[in-house]
């Protein structure tokens, strides 16, 4: 069953406050003779507006889980329901639509296009939405103002600090007004003061209702979350207390 329709609002609202509901999720990679079980039966609910961090050792399955949450991949078995839509059963086109509208991504390395200005980088995320040009410009300006970069819209990435570049990346992620922001080590390349600057921006967005799911090795980041998860050998454990 799919709840995605032609309405631009896209994903239908779930009957409960759970934004994500994962049931018995496995993800197995097959490489020639080898079978790698990256996720081995994950059950998880994440509520709308939650700030959840995912910690754990390298190879534990964090990026694999984030890719499933981000509609970039499908599980080998089990279901990944986002606001009523099972991403495990969705077509490629449906997954693409969910990614374009519902999910913002932030990466450790910022992933900005070096030849484009901050505003142009942010505008890229609106490409698939087919909005009128004036609306796009308004949204880009608002998103950059939201992360405190109203005065840096015409700067290229090399003319910005690491913290500012990551704030442009966050603006790019939120400009489409997604339900959830997924971040893989968003402060991994930043010093402490820039980390705190990014944390403040993320917490501000969460306070406005955005759901945050952040993979991090930094316990200073995890301490600020509502809920801390640990992913080890493909299994999730709650380590909030
Ligand atoms: P983490 O992000 O916690 O370091 P990953 O999700 O990247 O963990 O990886 C979990 C396991 O799955 C690791 O053993 C990794 O080598 C393997 N893996 C991840 N992606 C692939 C892939 N595309 N093909 C094969 N194996 C993969
Ligand atoms: Mg990883």
Give the pair of three-digit tokens for residue 38: 């990256």
Cα 208 from Cα 205, distance rounded (Å)? 5
Best of 30, 37, 38, 54 for a ligand 1 pocket test (most atoms within 8 Å of beta carbon): 38
84 CA from centroid of ligand 2 (Å): 27
pLDDT of residue 6: 40
Q: What is the pLDDT of residues 177-210, one digit of tens each?
A: 999 999 999 999 999 999 999 999 999 999 999 9
Cβ–Cβ < 8 Å for 100, 126: no
Q: Which domains does the chain have, with CATH numbers?
A: 49-63+93-238 (3.40.50.300)
pLDDT of residue 8: 42
Ligand 1 atom with least separation from CA of 184: 2
Show the CA angle centred on residue 109, arms to residues 107 and 114, nearest 5°. Answer: 115
Q: How many CB atoms lie within 10 A of CB 148?
A: 16
Strand partners, 232: 235
Q: What is the pLDDT of residues 134-192, one digit of tens each?
A: 999 999 999 999 999 999 999 999 999 999 999 999 999 999 999 999 999 999 999 99
pLDDT of residue 241: 83
Q: How many CB atoms lie within 10 A of CB 84?
A: 18
Q: What is the pLDDT of residues 108-117, one digit of tens each?
A: 999 999 999 9
Cα 35 from Cα 29, distance rounded (Å)? 6
pLDDT of residue 11: 53
Helix/strand/coil for 115 = coil
Using CA positions, which residue lies closest to atom 17 of ligand 1? 38
Cα 34 from Cα 16, distance rounded (Å)? 40
39 CA from centroid of ligand 2 (Å): 13
231 CA from centroid of ligand 2 (Å): 11
Cα 75 from Cα 23, distance rounded (Å)? 10
197 CA from centroid of ligand 2 (Å): 23
Strand partners, 182: 105, 213
Best of 25, 56, 58, 61 for a ligand 1 pocket test (most atoms within 8 Å of beta carbon): 61
Kindly identify the ligand whose nearest atom is closest to the C-alpha of 61: 1
- pLDDT higher than 70, residue 19: yes
pTM of the entire predicted model: 0.91
Percent of the chain with pLDDT over 70: 93
Cα 188 from Cα 190, distance rounded (Å)? 6
Using CA positions, which residue lies closest to atom 5 of ligand 1? 61
Mean pLDDT over each residue of the chain, to the nearest integer: 93
How large is the average pLDDT for residues 15-23? Answer: 83
Give the pair of three-digit tokens for residue 43: 């059950």
Element (H, E) at 221: helix 219-222
- pLDDT higher than 90, residue 12: no
């Amino acid at each position: 069953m799919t709840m995605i329709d032609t309405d631009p609002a896209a994903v239908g609202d779930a009957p409960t406050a759970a934004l994500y509901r994962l049931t018995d999720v496995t993800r197995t990679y097959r490489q020639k003779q080898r079978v790698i079980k990256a996720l081995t039966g994950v059950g998880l609910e994440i509520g709308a507006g939650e700030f959840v961090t995912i910690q754990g050792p390298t190879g534990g399955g964090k990026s694999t889980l984030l890719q499933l949450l981000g509609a970039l991949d499908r599980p080998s078995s089990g279901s990944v329901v986002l606001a009523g839509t099972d991403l495990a059963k969705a077509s490629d086109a449906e997954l693409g639509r969910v990614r374009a509208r519902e999910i913002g991504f932030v990466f450790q390395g910022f992933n900005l296009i070096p030849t484009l200005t901050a505003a142009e980088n942010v505008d890229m995320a609106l490409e698939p939405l087919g909005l009128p040009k004036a609306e796009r410009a308004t949204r880009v300006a608002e998103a950059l103002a939201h992360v405190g970069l109203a005065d840096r819209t015409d700067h290229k990435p090399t003319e910005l600090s690491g913290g500012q570049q990551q704030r442009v990346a966050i603006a790019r992620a939120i400009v489409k007004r997604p339900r959830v922001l997924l971040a893989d080590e968003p402060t991994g390349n930043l010093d402490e003061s820039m980390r705190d600057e990014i944390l403040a921006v993320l917490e501000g967005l969460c306070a406005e209702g955005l759901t945050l799911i952040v993979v991090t090795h930094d316990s200073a980041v995890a301490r600020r979350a509502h809920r801390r998860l640990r992913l080890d050998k493909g299994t999730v454990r709650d380590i909030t207390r």
